[in-house]
Structure 1
Amino acid sequence: MICPFCKAEIPDNAKFCTSCGRIVPHTDRMQNTEQNFSADGNFANQEYKSSQNNGSDPDLAEVIKRLDSMNVLQIICLVLLFIPFLNIIGGVIFLVILIMSLGLTNRVSAVFSKYGYPMYAKITDGVRSKCIFMLACMLITTIMSFMVSVIDFSKGQDFAVYVLIGFFLILFGMAILFTIYEVYCFCRLYTVKNALEMISIGNRLPEKPGSGAAIIAIVLVLFFFAITILGIIAAIALPAYAGYMERARFVEVAVAAKGVMRQAELCVAEFGENDIAGRCDNTQAVQGSGWALLAPKDYRTKYIDSISVSAVNADSSRSGHAEITVTSHGVPLHFKGRNADITIIGTVVNDRVTWNVSPDSSCKHLNLCPYFEQISVTMD
């Protein structure tokens, strides 16, 4: 007896080949032609009477050969897709594979029907429908990209944003389905090819083909998509949240400065604009009639390092008016290690103080000063 796989000579009725170790099919496992047919006249999950007949089937040999060629193209496509400047060629090859699969799946389905395996023919038809969907996705993406490029966005920024968001949502949804179908077809291609090879050597196929590998692959793809989505959300949300928290902390720094500004105004009201130098400074804690300026470090909190106050008379000021300056320093640890201070300069004219944020404040560079300006008003 000759092994149909490695052509080695083995004992008659041997179940395994002693050379290659594979299970050897036997003609005694074949049934008569009358038994091979079901009530409706079709083959009922049986193979031809001998492996020699299967091996000589030109249709079967042709589809196996074409599946081998498609496997080679798929490997080349996957390699090119990950090489810069060559991924366009990989995309073209993938498009060629999809177009080729339409005709090939028809022939494979016909072969399975010929040998009486309707479940495998159904799988092949499913692969063809998914290939059609992927081709439609590529066409729709091309059309939508063209439409976005020619749309007139002069109607307003909101219109442009809505259009782009809708485009990317549709594109993202199609990308998920496209990837799932691509993995499914890739796995089913090997299932179909192995089934055809089993038929070619006269082996019987399971009535219901396994789908475990395809399910595992799809679950893995969905898992990686979920990880990708979470990564995108984190990349967008975490910086926004960090910025929000930084601004919230700075509000406390600004509010504390506003309280000190009120005390400084009372000091100016008590001593007058020509006698505030040295009296309205808080190098050390000072107090007067209904007001008090604590020492800089006495204002320390979780987010505030210190608040300093200094004053100059009109004759010592560049502007020719008395000035009083309040500077609130944030704790750098809570502001990404950067200085977060706000300096407010009050100009005294006729005993009235007008406050303005100094351009030297680091909050200007951190874009935090507007949050102070929202809660700060000119104080009389």
Structure 2
Amino acid sequence: MKIPLAWLQLKHQKTRLLVAIAGISFSVILMFMQLGFQSALFDSAVLLHKSLNGDIFLLSPRSTALIAMKSFSERRLYQALGDKNVEFITPIYLGFAQWKNPANPLKWRNIHIIGFDTEYSVFNLPGVEQNMDKLKEPDVVLFDLASRPEFGPVVNLFQSQTSLLTEIDNMSNATRKIEVVGLFKLGTTFGIDGNLITSHLNFLRIFSQRKKGLIEVGVIKLKSGNPANIEQKLQQYLPNDVQIFTKEEWIKFEKQYWMTSTAIGFIFSLGVAMGLIVGIVVVYQILYTDVANHLKEYATLTTMGYRHRYFLTVVFQESLILACLGYIPGFLIASGLYKIAHQTTLLPIAMTQQRTWFVFLLTIFMCFLAGIIAVRKLQDVDPADIF
């Protein structure tokens, strides 16, 4: 079998080939990491949304994201009961408080507290349903075992003692003793380092300054009917002091906040673009130098009758070879970095098949674009001038 001219030219100078592979791999790693962090940002932000057993959700118009929720009247939720398709409604209370590290009483850290009515199974989370009866006791909470380690060795202490006492400061200089009676798993986000789940009554005990009936999320579970149709009916007779979402719309609303209303969403997109540009520059330099060094050979082939299309094919073959050779180590290194990032940050960073193919196609596009720019030098090649 004939060895392609493109491969022979690339491997002629092995050092330059290795430099090109390293540059492309770096670009691939950069794109993978930025896309991975961006995906982790969006996926982690909607973990709570996906865990709620509801079809329609009510929010205050002033709420912009899970970390910036505003209260509204619980009466709007009860008004939704007028629809015959509603199976049940339940309020969700959300707030941040200071958690005292049980292993180091001098360390306090913000923690996210979720309060709900234990009459309904509203969470699809490991550990919540099993501990539902315990949450009916006063001053008890469930601790998120996927929280950051800065909250202390809570999981180990609880498993060795089956219960754990600590304190919570509700941000108004009022501390309250609470007991951890169980564990559940939700996960951290870019704005939330840890979570507690408790009953709505215990939530109001912790946040004694809060008024009962002012909630952050209203959950509506339907027994029949299309959520989109029920949503439209609710919008017609509920006042405009609440926002009404289906679950998919609420998830989209949350992601849109992080994508457009925060700097971090833009930075990750910019990082992907920078990785693409770096790769284009590296591949262009390699291919341009290769073309320049072989101008005489190309001119000779031109006089022999080879058309410009043939030279384009050679350069594009080189681009494809570089893309494949650079992608493989970049993919392997990025996969390892994903595991390290997940273990360190506890964010949902994982390699997906969709992202694998997307970055591979981006790499091919990047190398082909660099090849198109580099091959322009051949367009005006005149054998008479070269010889």
Compare relative contact order (CA 8 Å, sep 6+) and give the higher one, 1 or 2: 2
Which structure has the highest strand share of the two? Answer: 2
Structure (1 or 2) with the greater helix fraction = 1
User: What TM-score do the two structures reach when normalised by structure 2?
Assistant: 0.22
| TM superposition score normalised by structure 1 | 0.22
